[in-house]
């Protein structure tokens, strides 16, 4: 039986204002001149997971995302785009499309993930353990502060961020404890029943929940119906399942015979290639089964369910575009150390300059840079560790460092842009200075102005 795949793509995230807008919702934000959503879709395609439901917050954003998918992935993916109300949360988004979920297992993937970890591996681990939920954990990325005030500069001190407190069994296959959000700063309280059952627990604070989850569909729908105040998969659904795994109240045996026999709707013809190699491997009894047997070791006397963890190798790249700082970091990584994710072939100078772009006299584009289609640069310009989009017009004596310039941007002579994000259709007049700024789409910065740590955007009408 195949997995049904749901991609939670988001909409116009408030955390990403002014980068997002009605014209460019979060799923279409460019990372190395490609929509961020394309990174998830292509990883799913590589795993032969080609039948997808892409959930977008807001009807207008859903129309834009649907139009882009139709043109970019025609004859490659079968995608149904579903619009849900804004700010319903990840659990609320799944609750809104619950009637579309028919497969035995559901793979839920966040649309803002930029990673080379195959999501099919999470699906395979889930099946191997017959789990209720399996979550993907990655090494926490390093970066600057999560606030929008400072983008990555040359001298930035990289520090790992503290995302969660995770408790794992000795085999590192089962999730025993999770604290997220405000809970991270509190004292760790571990259930005695878990410790007695497993014997010992490894506590980790260096792992990031990548927001890739495999769920047993019947259990997920049961929780969404009964726990109608749950809004977040990470902060509500997952901790609930982890807390209750040794005293399960879920209808684990309430699955219809049709589902047990695999007669429900098939959502993907080819995903069996991903999971078939390990489905046949019978796993040894976990502490869950031993705990369920009780003291006599006879028939099960306790109801349990399994919560599993798939821990990606620390050699893999994994980051979520969930803040302005993360947007800058990921763009820099995808044209730098993680350039295998970009989908482009880099030159001998370790950069990408589109053949249709034009460079003036004594203009240099350094390593870890990208210059998009049809863009033009004047004389004596310098670009370092930056992405410049398509059809930009850049004057002479312009410096761009550690920045992202989106499409159709006009930059006048003598401008200096450092650690900033400049959105599409912006006009920077002569001698503008920007440091650690974000400039929203269509904004005009008048000649000679200098800004540091500012967010500049047009007022919404």
* One domain for residues 56 and 194: yes
Residues 308 and 358 in one domain: no
Residues 103 and 215 in one domain: yes
Strands (E) across 293-381 are located at 307-311, 318-320, 352-353, 358-359, 364-365, 370-371, 376-377
Residue 372, CA distances (Å) to 56, 63, 142, 389, 427 in order? 28, 26, 27, 5, 17
Query: Pairing between strand 165-168 and 202-204?
Result: antiparallel
Residues 96 and 56 in one domain: yes
Residues 17 and 66 reside in one and the same domain: yes
Same domain, 63 and 120: yes
Residue 179 pLDDT: 84
For residue 412, being part of any structural domain is answered with yes
User: Is position 326 within any domain?
Assistant: no
Task: For residues 396 and 308, state if they share a domain.
Answer: no
User: Is the domain of 316 the same as that of 363?
Assistant: no
- pLDDT value at position 318? 96
The CATH code of the domain that includes 136 is 3.90.550.10
Phi/psi for 52 (5° steps) reads: -130, 150
For residue 433, what are the domain limits?
347-456
Lowest mean pLDDT among 113-127, 183-197, 224-238, 389-403: 183-197
Structural domain includes residue 288? no
* Cβ atoms of 158 and 297 closer than 8 Å: no
Mean pLDDT, residues 13-33: 94
User: What's the whole-number average pLDDT of the chain?
Assistant: 85
Asked if 422 contacts 455 with a C-beta cutoff of 8 angstroms, the reply is: no
| 32 within a domain of the structure (yes/no) | yes
With respect to residue 313, please indicate whether it lies within any of the assigned structural domains.
yes
Give a three-class secondary structure readout of 119-161.
HHHHHHHHHHHCCCEEEEEEECCEECCCCCCCCCCCCCCCEEC
- Check residue 460 and give its pLDDT: 67
Query: Does residue 273 sit within a domain?
Result: no
Kindly give, in sequence order, each residue whose CB lies less than 8 Å from that of residue 348, ignoring residues fewer than 6 positions away. Answer: none
In a domain, 272, yes or no: no
| 67 lies in the same domain as 139 | yes
pLDDT reported for residue 163: 63
Does 184 map to a domain? Answer: yes
Domains in the chain: how many in total? 2
pLDDT of 156 > 70? The answer is no
CATH assignment at residue 423: 2.160.10.10
The verdict on 131 and 174 lying in the same domain is: yes
pLDDT value for 1: 42
Residues 6+ apart with CB under 8 A from 107: 3, 4, 5, 6, 49, 119, 122, 123, 212, 213, 214
Asked if residue 198 and residue 123 are part of one domain, the reply reads yes
Question: What is the per-residue pLDDT across 377-425, written as a single tens digit (0 to 9) for each?
Answer: 999 999 999 999 999 999 999 999 999 999 999 999 999 999 999 999 9
Residue 443 in this model has a pLDDT that exceeds 90: yes
What is residue 344's DSSP assignment? S
Give the model's pLDDT for residue 161.
55
Distances in Å between the Cα of 162 and the Cα atoms of 155, 184, 330 are 21, 8, 18
Kindly state whether residues 313 and 413 are assigned to the same domain.
no
- Nearest alpha carbon to residue 169 among 313, 280, 306, 303: 306
Residue 203 backbone dihedrals phi, psi, to 5 degrees: -100, 130
């Amino acid at each position: 039986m195949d997995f049904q795949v749901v991609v939670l793509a988001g909409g116009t995230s408030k955390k990403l204002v002014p980068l997002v807008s009605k014209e460019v919702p979060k799923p279409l934000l460019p990372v190395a001149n490609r929509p961020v959503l394309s990174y998830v879709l292509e990883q799913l395609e590589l795993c032969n997971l080609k039948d997808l439901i892409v959930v977008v917050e807001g009807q207008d954003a859903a129309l834009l995302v649907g139009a882009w998918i139709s043109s970019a992935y025609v004859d490659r993916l079968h995608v149904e785009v579903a619009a849900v109300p804004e700010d319903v949360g990840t659990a609320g988004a799944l609750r809104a499309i619950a009637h579309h979920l028919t497969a035995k297992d559901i793979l839920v993937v966040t649309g803002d993930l930029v990673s080379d970890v195959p999501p099919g591996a999470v699906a395979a681990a889930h099946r191997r353990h017959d789990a209720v939920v399996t979550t993907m954990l990655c090494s926490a990325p390093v970066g600057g502060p999560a606030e929008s005030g400072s983008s990555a500069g040359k001298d930035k001190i990289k520090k790992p961020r503290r995302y969660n407190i995770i408790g794992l069994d000795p085999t590192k296959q089962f999730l025993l404890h999770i604290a997220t959000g405000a809970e991270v700063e509190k004292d760790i309280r571990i259930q005695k029943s878990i410790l007695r059952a497993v014997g010992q627990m490894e506590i980790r604070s260096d792992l990031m929940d990548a927001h890739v989850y495999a769920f047993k569909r019947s259990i997920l729908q049961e929780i969404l119906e009964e726990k109608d105040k749950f809004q977040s998969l990470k902060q509500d659904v997952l901790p609930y399942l982890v807390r209750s795994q040794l005293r399960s109240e879920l209808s684990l045996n309430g699955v219809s015979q049709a589902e047990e026999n695999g007669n429900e709707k098939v959502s993907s013809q080819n995903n069996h290639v991903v999971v078939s190699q390990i489905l046949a491997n019978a796993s040894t009894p976990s502490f869950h089964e031993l705990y369920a047997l009780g003291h006599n070791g006879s028939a099960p006397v306790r109801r349990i369910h399994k919560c599993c963890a798939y821990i990606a190798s620390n050699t893999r790249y994994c980051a979520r575009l969930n803040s302005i700082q993360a947007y800058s970091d990921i763009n820099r990584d995808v044209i730098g150390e993680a350039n295998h994710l970009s989908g482009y072939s880099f030159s001998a100078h370790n950069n990408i300059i589109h053949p249709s772009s034009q460079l003036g006299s004594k203009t240099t584009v350094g390593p870890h840079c990208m210059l998009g289609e049809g863009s033009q640069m004047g004389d004596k310009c310098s670009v370092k560790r930056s992405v410049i989009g398509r059809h930009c017009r850049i004057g002479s004596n312009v410096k761009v460092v550690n920045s992202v310039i989106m499409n159709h941007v006009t930059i006048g002579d003598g401008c200096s842009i450092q650690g900033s994000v400049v959105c599409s259709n912006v006009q920077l007049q002569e001698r503008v200075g920007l440091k650690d700024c974000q400039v929203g789409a269509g904004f005009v910065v008048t000649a000679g102005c200098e800004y540091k740590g500012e967010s500049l955007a047009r007022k919404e009408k």
